Amino acid sequence: MFINALLYDGKNSIEHKVIIEFTKDKRVKINSHNIDISITEIEIESRLGNTPRVFEFPNGIRCKSIENSKIDEILKQLDIETSKTHKIESSWRLTVGAVFITIFFIWFSLTIGANYTANIIASILPNDVLNDIGHTTLEELDKKYLNISNLSKKNRAIIQAQFDRLTENEDIHYQLHFRSSQKIGANAFALPSGDIVLTDQLVKLSKDKKFRDILGVLAHEKGHIVKKHTLKIAIKTGISGAILGYITGDISILVTAIPTVIINSSYSRDYEREADEYAVSELKRLNVSTKYITQLFEELEKENKIDENNTINSLISSHPITKERIEYFKSHIK
Amino acid sequence: MEEKTTEKKIIEYKPFIFKGNSREFFRIWIVNIALTILTLGIYSAWAKVRTNRYFYANTYLNNSNFEYNANPKRILAGRVIVVGLYGLFILFSQYLAMYHLAIGIFVIAILALPWLIRQAVSFKLRNTSYRNVPFRYIGKTRSFYYFFIINALLPILLIIIISVIIHIKLISAILIFLVSGYIYIKFKELIINNSYYGANGRFRFFGTIGEVYGIYLKIAGWLLIIGLLATICLAIVSEIIGNIEFLSEFIHKIKAQMDNPSQPFLVLFISILMTFIYLPIIFFQKGLSDAYHLNFVNNNTLLNNAHLKGDINPLKLAWISATNILAIILSLGLLYPWTKIRYFKYKLEHIYFRCSDYEQFKSLGYETGSALGEESIDFFDIDIGL
């Protein structure tokens, strides 16, 4: 069995055209260069597409040949192991399999995998760190968006009492912050440290003197903390960035930041729902009807003037005061 | 008699030729990723070698191809160290709040950077061969520290001091412009003048700083034109939109939501807009600057007496770069192998070499060594332009 090849002696860049002979007793011969050695002594590079195959001889000599299929045939006849990778690459089925493995892995690490990692990290993360992060975030927000609250002392006391009812006997140290903000408007949000911020603008929408509707909102925010949503979003963002970074290799992080925004907004929809479920169970525990929060949401919906029929909006919005959510709370009114 | 004939023979420029194709590369790429996943990342070192081998081995000059010889086990070792240290850094700084340890790692990394970059340059050259003769690098570690301290850090410090003393922004801008060209030239000299092909193939770089300034001005000029065109286009488009009732209502709604930062709808809308306007412009700029720099380096580099030549069309490469990024986004990454080949092939096939004797080079043999520098540079995506 003969193949045409180019020989380089490893001492200089001169190219020699040679014929390599493979014999049945597994010897490799190049007559023009007095080479006659066992095939086990040379290293045959794994096949890669249709690039010239390299044969490395012990004394620095290298031969290259583009007759790939002929070489594969010879190696098969001589019973020499060849690289499995090329077999995978040249099979359509296995390549398609590789596509599916990749897609499955990305999906898995962004869903189940991320939740699992988030839980592990959340359990080993010291509370000091969470508190630090919470405080610096709040300071930043105070500088940019938030002002001092103008609520009356009486109203504050009522809401604080409701909040204490909601958070007593808990491991996490919860703290309620009253703020006013024209920019953020009627809103409330939670930080992983247990800090919950409530805006005056939201309190103004309340129709209940005992602020049981606000209690519902606070329970929802507590749900975000209990379920570690912020942390999970951070971890998922990190994971998706790393995966996309690896796959696209040399493309900058800029590209990888874009899909995360899209991914995040669909995550948060699930998280809003989860926090709503938590709020309902907490309200039940405290014997408060869900009708108050339903009313508040209806007010909020009017305020935001979001068209219920605007499907685009409800599909990609993360804080949707949608008919869906209102109906959910309504269904739990006894 | 024989000498005369060689003198008379006109030596022609021969182009580099790329023989790979995106179908083949797609399979290699996706199998690499899948095997990396299945082996929990260990295969990534072999994946890197296979990818590089594919690009090198398909690169032909004068009918002979290049070879990539890196040992995947060494790459894996380098990778483990880099990822491990980075992991520790993240753990200390973001999760355990042990800032002194995190700062310690950071300082060591910064101090080691010149050494790591030298390692990476040397690794890349050592593992590249042509006709079984490897390239090599003889630059000293102390030359890299000299470069970073004297040629880079010192001028930057001077600019800062001058800017503090005289508060004229224009002067600071001009100084930055002048100094970045200087740093660029010094770095190219450090890399190219210490590079060898075999024992007797010596690279020499003779680019001048004036040409670098010319390149910078050209790039800035094109970007100005592109920026103006984009603004005009946007103005026309918004004029048209303003006249269509449905769309103007839609825009109005978005404007109403502008005042409400908690609206993710707006965030999403803007990020999509950014993706399709901002990213192609960034990648256009990337292609443009890549082309100008490559042409400049190739047109000013000699291997012994043999000239390299680059005639990449900057606008063409910029166009390829910008459309590539759109293809990647729209195909959710699946067209990545196609874009990579498209860019590489165009770039490569507009580089030429004029050599009278391809057989003159002697080899000093292959050398092995740590891949730590290579992997650090790779992991943090530091572009050393090789």
Judged by CB atoms closer than 8 Å, whether chains meet at A262 and B31 is answered as no
Nearest by CB to residue B30, choosing from A99, A250, A319, is A99
- Average pLDDT score, chain A: 80
Tell me whether 0.85 is exceeded by the ipTM. no
Q: Which residues of A fall within a CB distance of 8 Å from B50?
A: 48, 85
Judged by CB atoms closer than 8 Å, whether chains meet at B267 and A261 is answered as yes
Q: Which residues of B fall within a CB distance of 8 Å from A240?
A: none
Helices (H) and strands (E) in chain B, counts: 14, 11
Cα separation of A75 and A70, whole Å?
A: 9
A311 interfacial to chain B (CB closer than 8 Å): no
A49 interfacial to chain B (CB closer than 8 Å): yes
> Of the candidates A139, A102, A311, A202, which has an alpha carbon nearest to the alpha carbon of residue B37?
A102
Residue A14 has what pLDDT? 92
Residue B64 has what pLDDT? 93
- pTM value is 0.77
CA distance A93 to chain B (A): 11
Q: Which residues of B fall within a CB distance of 8 Å from A15?
A: 64, 131, 358-359
Residue B269 has what pLDDT? 64
Residue A244 has what pLDDT? 64
- Taking only the tens place, the pLDDT of each residue in A275-302 is 889 999 999 998 888 888 888 888 877 7
Nearest by CB to residue A132, choosing from B97, B328, B363, is B97
Judged by CB atoms closer than 8 Å, whether chains meet at A125 and B95 is answered as yes
Judged by CB atoms closer than 8 Å, whether chains meet at B31 and A88 is answered as yes
Judged by CB atoms closer than 8 Å, whether chains meet at A95 and B30 is answered as yes
A81 interfacial to chain B (CB closer than 8 Å): no
Angstrom CA distances, B371 to B133, B161, B221, stand at 20, 38, 40
CA distance A129 to chain B (A): 7
- Extended beta strands in chain A, E state: 2-8, 16-22, 27-30, 35-38, 43-44, 53-56, 62-65, 147-148, 175-180, 188-190, 195-199
Residue B5 has what pLDDT? 46
Q: Which residues of B fall within a CB distance of 8 Å from A261?
A: 267-268, 271
Nearest by CB to residue A102, choosing from B34, B53, B363, is B34
A247 interfacial to chain B (CB closer than 8 Å): yes
CA distance A11 to chain B (A): 5
Note down pLDDT in tens along chain B; length 386 residues.
344 444 556 788 999 999 999 999 999 999 998 998 899 889 989 999 999 999 999 999 999 999 999 889 998 998 888 888 888 887 777 666 677 888 888 899 889 989 999 999 999 999 999 999 999 999 999 999 999 999 999 999 999 898 888 888 888 888 888 999 999 999 999 999 999 999 999 999 999 999 999 999 999 999 899 888 878 887 787 777 666 666 666 666 665 555 444 455 555 566 666 667 777 888 898 899 999 999 999 999 999 989 999 999 999 999 999 999 889 888 878 899 999 999 999 999 999 999 888 888 998 888 877 777 777 766 665 555 55
- Residue A316, pLDDT above cutoff 50: no
Nearest by CB to residue A48, choosing from B19, B53, B271, is B53
Q: Which residues of A fall within a CB distance of 8 Å from B27?
A: 89-90, 95
A83 interfacial to chain B (CB closer than 8 Å): no
The DSSP call for residue B166 is S
- Provide the token pair at A101: 């493995």
A145 or B163: which carries more pLDDT confidence?
B163
Taken in order B358, B361, B366, B370, the sign of the CA dihedral is negative
Residue B254 has what pLDDT? 60
Judged by CB atoms closer than 8 Å, whether chains meet at B132 and A244 is answered as no
Cα three-residue angle B88-B90-B91, rounded to 5 degrees: 60
Q: Which residues of B fall within a CB distance of 8 Å from A50?
A: 19, 24
- Mean pLDDT within A134-143: 80
- Residue A247, pLDDT above cutoff 80: no
- Provide the token pair at B232: 């005009």
Judged by CB atoms closer than 8 Å, whether chains meet at A49 and B20 is answered as yes
Would you tell me which residues 10-39 of chain A have a C-beta closer than 8 angstroms to some C-beta of chain B?
A: 10-15
Closest residue in A to B65 (Cα–Cα): A52
The DSSP call for residue B186 is H
Residue A84 has what pLDDT? 81
On whether the CB atoms of residues B100 and B35 are closer than 8 A, the answer is no
Cα separation of B299 and B307, whole Å?
A: 8
CA distance B210 to chain A (A): 30
Judged by CB atoms closer than 8 Å, whether chains meet at A126 and B96 is answered as yes
A2 interfacial to chain B (CB closer than 8 Å): no
Judged by CB atoms closer than 8 Å, whether chains meet at A105 and B50 is answered as no
Q: Which residues of B fall within a CB distance of 8 Å from A49?
A: 20, 24-25, 28, 54, 58
- Provide the token pair at A12: 């200089």
Residue B164 has what pLDDT? 87
Q: Which residues of B fall within a CB distance of 8 Å from A60?
A: 132, 365
A66 interfacial to chain B (CB closer than 8 Å): no
When pLDDT is cut at 50, 70 and 90, the band that residue A312 belongs to is very low
A120 interfacial to chain B (CB closer than 8 Å): no
Residue B128 has what pLDDT? 92
Judged by CB atoms closer than 8 Å, whether chains meet at B361 and A13 is answered as yes
When pLDDT is cut at 50, 70 and 90, the band that residue A317 belongs to is very low
A255 interfacial to chain B (CB closer than 8 Å): yes
Judged by CB atoms closer than 8 Å, whether chains meet at B54 and A132 is answered as no
CA distance A14 to chain B (A): 5
Domains and CATH numbers, chain A: 2-83 (2.30.29.30), 112-331 (no CATH)
Residue B51 has what pLDDT? 92
A258, HSE (Cβ side, Cα atoms, 13 Å): 22
When pLDDT is cut at 50, 70 and 90, the band that residue A18 belongs to is very high
Would you tell me which residues 156-195 of chain A have a C-beta closer than 8 angstroms to some C-beta of chain B?
A: 183-185, 187
- Provide the token pair at A2: 């003969």
**A/B interface, count of CB pairs below 8 Å:** 161
Q: Which residues of B fall within a CB distance of 8 Å from A99?
A: 30, 34
Helices (H), A61-171: 68-77, 84-90, 92-110, 112-124, 127-144, 153-167
Judged by CB atoms closer than 8 Å, whether chains meet at B96 and A129 is answered as yes
Cα separation of B196 and B103, whole Å?
A: 38
